[in-house]
Amino acid sequence: MLKYRSIIRTLSTTSPLKTSHKPSSPRPSLSFEKEYNIRSSLEHLITDYSGKTIPQITLDSLINISKKDISTNAIATINYLTIFNTKRLAAFRALPYLVVLNPHISETYQLYLKSLEILLSIDQSEYKNFDKIHNSLLYYSEIHKDAIPSLSKGFQEVSKFFPKGKIVDFLNLHFYDKINMETITNNYINLINKPENHIGVLNTKLNVSEMLQTWAGLVNDMAFIKYYKQVPIQIDFGQDVEFPYIGIHLEYIFTEILKNSIRANIESGNGDKPIKITIVSNSISSNRKNLSIRFRDDGGGIPPEVEKNVFDYSFTTVEKHEEDKIGMNTNSMPGESVENIAGMGYGLPLTKAYVELFGGNLELQSIYGLGTDVYIELIGPDTSLL
């Protein structure tokens, strides 16, 4: 990576980051030769690193890297993030020119250039400067936290001439890499902050029922603002289950499923009936457990013509006039602020991505006219590593 550090001073010059709250600075004038050399160096960097392979990120591998010394962890974190970042930049560059010209897609591309600049700014001699790395990774997370709304708008706009299948392929890989980047970043940050009962990003004693109740309360607060009504939550089994997992992943999964269930109960006239939740954890081998959760609502079920599309990106049942800023219809990844992106249609696809990241499974069973059951199964880490 050392040979590419010379481009960081001019990386933002060639590809300025556009922000809504800060006027852009006039672009410095560069000679043709200098501009060519900068762009050529950037191209070589993206080509070089995007071609590298990364071992699959698993709960076990996160635990193992977290147990190494912090310097080793810093090097691995920066290298992994650089590879993931350049893979995303290469994917954007492979899109048709008209697609990349879309201002929303271009804005997301600029974010990845900016985050690459942050990673390159960390010199190898500073790998033991844990505060600098910690602060750089906090900034790295911050600039990506609201990227989904812009990307969503961009692909909605280009979908008229860019095939849906290619959009789906791009987004599947994009969000897989984005979740991995988020996980790796938070793993290092937690190693510095040292929250209780954590090995890096993994919560070793996560009380599933307590987390469900917490996020159900948040969703019900949003429901009250929108509908002036809250839906009871009934955990009928598994109140004491603890499961080692990544808390921010479960936060997103629980929030999205509960938003759909609570909204369905209220809009079908069954707001007084509880969302019934069953929690079960079983051993699937001598050193590994799974977590199974069923969410059952009485929201009238999903129409057959709709059910086949619920995991499609940008498919939504939220009408345009229903869009809001309170978050009841909003899809945000962990750490993102709640913005007016209602009806974006990324909620269930992203939920499925989070569930499946470490070998889990998500299924829907719906009876139109009655209600819907959502089943998630998650696979825990090797307990001998904890």
* pTM, to two decimals: 0.84
CA distance 296 to 378: 18
Answer whether residue 134 is part of any domain.
yes
CATH of residue 217: 3.30.565.10
Last residue of a domain, one of 195, 215, 239: 195
Answer whether residue 6 is part of any domain.
no
Select from 79, 140, 72 the least CA-distant residue to 112: 140
Residues 130 and 270 reside in one and the same domain: no
Answer whether residue 300 is part of any domain.
yes
- Looking at residue 3, its pLDDT comes to 54
- Looking at residue 28, its pLDDT comes to 55
Run means of pLDDT, 10 residues per run, the chain, 386 residues: 53 44 49 56 86 92 93 91 94 94 93 91 79 89 82 90 91 92 94 94 96 95 94 95 96 94 95 97 92 97 86 61 50 44 64 95 94 97 95
Runs of H (alpha helix) within 145-246: 147-158, 164-193, 208-227
Q: Which amino acid is at 245?
A: Y
Residues 364 and 223 reside in one and the same domain: yes
Are 154 and 105 spatial neighbours (Cβ–Cβ below 8 Å)? yes
Residues 106 and 241 reside in one and the same domain: no
Last residue of a domain, one of 147, 180, 195: 195
Residues 290 and 372 reside in one and the same domain: yes
Answer whether residue 355 is part of any domain.
yes
Are 110 and 143 spatial neighbours (Cβ–Cβ below 8 Å)? no
Last residue of a domain, one of 149, 180, 195: 195
Select from 305, 276, 293 the least CA-distant residue to 371: 276
Domain hosting 44: range is 35-195
CA distances from 224 to 98, 229, 259, 266, 331 (A): 43, 5, 12, 10, 18
The residues, ordered by sequence, that sit 6+ positions from 80 with a Cβ below 8 Å of its Cβ are 54, 57, 184
